């Protein structure tokens, strides 16, 4: 027993010494930063879920704002936190070839859904990005638009039902379901009625993916960030088999039905099937042959999953927080409604693709919403080629993670006076055009910037357009003002939800 205790104490001591040695990494390079603690580095509270995952990097911006960059540790791994906008521009845009990957472990050979555009890097990413970009042209989005519009009409029926029962609506739940129904419809080509059927298998499996409840999968997710190389060597599964089997099976079945029956649908899944068939088809049906680009069934399934991974929480949260701010700011809500009425009158009351595009003020409202609540509170990259920081001797080594804490950049009073004030005028087109490219980054920046920006605006705003024509939004007492950040989610989510009451326009009864 004594021998065991001595061995145990010696091991702890050696691990402690090893960590202390690792923690000299930045000081040896002359880079300042917050003091790390044994085992955790600078992410202890985030790991214990007392803080949000990205909070340490946001705190570092506030504390070390006078420095262009700060050295931190995620466990023992060095992380560079970038505070200076010009340096962020170098890393994300100008010198992108040194920072091409996000550095998350995306999954092993048993994870057919993990190899999607968001997760991969290097040559495979570059090729796929080029091939997938035509999917997001305005012409293509116009052909997919009727599906989104039909889901937004269902969302209005959902609101009508709640109003008729005199119940307030939790816009977090409502927008989550609405966004998921769009993903099912446009991304996977299936209609699941998620808005009316909370038991839908699609929604249940998707929630299991996003709202991880078991400790095992929480740890796997955290370590996919922290120890990607170790995970890669161990070939650990990244997604639970239940979730993987459901979505893979669904895509396979749908693809085989379409291929067998020569059935085509103008959705995102079809563009992936076309790629598998060696084609890029534009909105007019013109076919361009694609050579030397292997795109398998796994690629189709993984990139259908990409639509969910990248387009669900992001657009759902943006829509619900915009609704919250409109309820808090009735004069802005009235201005948005006036714009909706004016534009729709021009289009005979039809909310067409062109009509929603003309709603400039509503876009400004979404921009200001994403300034306050960027879905991803930090943008991250992994250095893939040594990089000498401009005007210094510091070399960033391959494998180092780099974080840009966009939430705190968005809240910096020197960049945005009265940063807590909701003021869409900051994003009037002429003002937005003059912003530093890294001053407002809810969609990221550079060659890895969000590919679905336009689709993101459409999804976030369509349900709002429908509802604001008929109802006034009011804050319900259950909603925290200001909103409280949920620490258990990777994206910006509101603790306790966003509860709003509806008042039918031209009828003074609010319910």
> Segment near ligand HEM (CB under 6 A), from 189-197, 423-431, 452-460, 495-503?
452-460
- Whole-number minimum distance, CB 111 to ligand HEM, in Å? 17
- Rg (C-alpha) for the chain, rounded Å, is 24
Q: Which of 445, 463, 465, 471 touches ligand HEM (CB under 6 A)?
A: 445
Select from 59, 32, 121, 75 the least CA-distant residue to 383. Answer: 121
User: Where in 114-133 is the site for ligand HEM (CB under 6 A)?
Assistant: 117-118, 129
**Closer to ligand HEM by Cβ: residue 70 or 370:** 370
Mark 126-165 with x for binding to ligand HEM (rule: CB under 6 A) and - for no binding: ---x------------------------------------
Strand 77-82's sheet: what is its strand order?
A: 69-74, 77-82, 401-404, 379-382
- Whole-number minimum distance, CB 460 to ligand HEM, in Å? 5
> Segment near ligand HEM (CB under 6 A), from 80-88, 241-249, 444-452, 461-469?
444-452
**Closer to ligand HEM by Cβ: residue 238 or 448:** 448
Residue 376 interacting with ligand HEM (CB under 6 A): yes
Select from 496, 232, 459 the least CA-distant residue to 353. Answer: 459
Residue 299 interacting with ligand HEM (CB under 6 A): no
- Whole-number minimum distance, CB 144 to ligand HEM, in Å? 10
Residue 314 interacting with ligand HEM (CB under 6 A): yes
- Whole-number minimum distance, CB 509 to ligand HEM, in Å? 33
Residue 405 interacting with ligand HEM (CB under 6 A): no
- The closest residue (CB) to ligand HEM is 444
Q: Tell me which residue has tokens 């994403």.
A: 370
Q: What is the DSSP string of 480-505?
A: -SSPPBPTT-SS--BTT--EEEEEET
* Length of the chain, in residues: 511
Contacts with 146 (C-beta within 8 Å, 6 or more apart), sequence order: 266
Q: Which of 189, 424, 442, 497 touches ligand HEM (CB under 6 A)?
A: 442
- Alpha-carbon 369 to chain mean position: 14
Instruction: Find out whether the peptide bond into 397 is cis, omega within 30 degrees of 0.
Output: no
Mark 454-483 with x for binding to ligand HEM (rule: CB under 6 A) and - for no binding: -xx--xx-----------------------
Tokens of residue 304, six digits = 């259908």
Number of residues that bind ligand HEM (CB under 6 A): 27
Residue 444 interacting with ligand HEM (CB under 6 A): yes
Task: Give CA–CA dist 2/132, Å, rounded.
Answer: 63
- Whole-number minimum distance, CB 187 to ligand HEM, in Å? 7
Cα-based distances in Å from 110 to 37, 115, 229, 312, 406: 35, 11, 17, 24, 34
**Helices 360-372 and 297-328: angle between axes, nearest 10 degrees:** 100
- Whole-number minimum distance, CB 366 to ligand HEM, in Å? 7
Cα-based distances in Å from 395 to 5, 80, 89, 226, 375: 42, 11, 17, 21, 31
Q: 398-424: buried (b, 16+ CB within 10 Å) or exposed (e) per residue?
A: eebbbbbbbbbbbbbeebbeebeebbb
**Closer to ligand HEM by Cβ: residue 60 or 135:** 135
Q: Report the interface residues with ligand HEM, using CB under 6 A.
A: 117-118, 129, 306-307, 310-311, 314-315, 318, 370, 375-376, 379, 442-445, 448-452, 455-456, 459-460
């Amino acid at each position: 027993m004594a021998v065991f205790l001595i061995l145990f104490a010696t091991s702890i001591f050696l691990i402690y010494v090893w960590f202390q040695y690792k923690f000299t990494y930045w000081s040896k390079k002359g880079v300042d930063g917050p003091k790390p603690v044994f085992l955790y580095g600078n992410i202890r509270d985030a790991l214990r879920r007392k803080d949000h995952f990205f909070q340490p990097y946001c705190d570092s911006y506030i504390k070390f704002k006078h420095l262009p960059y700060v050295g931190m540790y995620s466990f023992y791994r060095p992380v560079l936190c970038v505070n200076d906008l010009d340096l962020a521009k170098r890393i994300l845009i100008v010198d992108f070839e040194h920072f091409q990957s996000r550095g998350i472990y995306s999954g092993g050979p048993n994870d057919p859904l993990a190899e999607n555009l968001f997760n991969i890097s290097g040559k495979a990413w570059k090729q796929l990005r080029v091939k997938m970009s035509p999917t997001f042209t305005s012409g293509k989005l116009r052909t997919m638009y009727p599906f989104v519009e039909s889901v937004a009409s269902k969302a209005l029926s959902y609101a009508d039902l709640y109003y008729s029962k005199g119940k307030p609506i939790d816009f977090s739940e409502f927008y989550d379901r609405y966004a998921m129904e769009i993903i099912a419809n446009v991304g996977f080509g299936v209609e699941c009625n998620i808005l009316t059927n909370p038991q839908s298998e699609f929604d249940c499996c998707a929630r299991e993916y996003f709202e991880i409840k078991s400790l095992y999968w929480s740890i796997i997710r955290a370590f996919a960030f922290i120890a990607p190389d170790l995970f890669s060597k161990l070939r650990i599964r990244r997604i639970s088999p239940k979730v993987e089997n459901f979505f893979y099976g669904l895509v396979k079945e749908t693809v085989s039905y379409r291929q067998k029956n020569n059935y085509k649908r103008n959705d995102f899944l079809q563009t992936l099937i076309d790629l598998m068939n060696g084609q890029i088809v534009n909105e007019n049906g013109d076919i361009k042959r694609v050579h030397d680009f292997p795109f398998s069934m796994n690629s189709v399934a993984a990139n259908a999953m990409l639509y969910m991974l990248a387009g669900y929480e992001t657009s759902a949260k943006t829509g619900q927080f915009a609704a919250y701010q409109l309820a808090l700011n009735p004069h802005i809500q009235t201005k948005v409604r006036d714009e909706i009425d004016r534009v729709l009158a021009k289009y005979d009351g039809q909310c067409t693709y062109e009509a929603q595009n003309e709603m400039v003020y509503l876009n400004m409202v979404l921009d200001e919403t994403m300034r306050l609540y960027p879905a991803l509170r930090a943008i991250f990259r992994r250095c893939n080629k040594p990089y000498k920081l401009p005007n210094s001797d510091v070399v960033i080594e391959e494998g180092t993670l780099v974080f840009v804490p966009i939430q705190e950049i968005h809240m910096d009073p020197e960049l945005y006076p009265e940063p807590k004030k909701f003021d869409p005028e900051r994003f009037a087109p002429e003002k937005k055009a003059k912003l530093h490219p890294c001053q407002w980054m809810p969609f990221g920046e550079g060659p890895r910037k969000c590919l679905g920006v336009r689709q993101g605006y459409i999804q976030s705003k369509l349900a709002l357009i429908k509802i604001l024509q008929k109802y006034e939004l009011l804050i319900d007492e259950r909603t925290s003002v200001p909103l409280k950040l949920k620490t258990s989610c990777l994206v910006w989510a509101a603790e306790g939800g966003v509860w709003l009451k509806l008042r039918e326009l031209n009828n003074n009864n609010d319910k």
